[in-house]
Amino acid sequence: MKNYLLTFELDSESEQLFVHGDPDGLEYFAKSLLKISEEAKAGEFPHEHFFTEEWGGDELSSEQQGNEGKLINHVKVFGWPNNKGAKPYEKT
């Protein structure tokens, strides 16, 4: 496990996503997003996985921070070259 705090948690109704992080965890996530953004700007279709240790990774912390809701063990971030997102690439 990396030595920072970074969790993604859904509220009990799955309507809100909460991100908890200490400065190092937030910086790690921000740098990851910037890398994905740069690759998408270059016309690529990048994605990145973030896992808890229980799910085979070390990018996310395993201890839930909120009192309610559910810890997310796998976050996958996609980068798309334009604001149409995945729509032009989906099979119909």
Please give the DSSP secondary-structure letter assigned to residue 68: S
Answer for the pair 2, 62: CB distance below 8 angstroms, yes or no: no
Tokens of 35: 């890398």
Residue at 1 is within a domain: no
| 52: three-class secondary structure by DSSP | coil
Note the pTM of the prediction, 2 decimals.
Answer: 0.90
Tokens of 69: 């809701």
Confidence class for position 91, pLDDT limits 50, 70, 90: low
Q: Which domain holds residue 23?
A: 6-89
Q: Average pLDDT for residues 61-71, to the nearest whole number?
A: 94
Residue at 12 is within a domain: yes
Task: Count how many domains the chain has.
Answer: 1
Residue at 13 is within a domain: yes
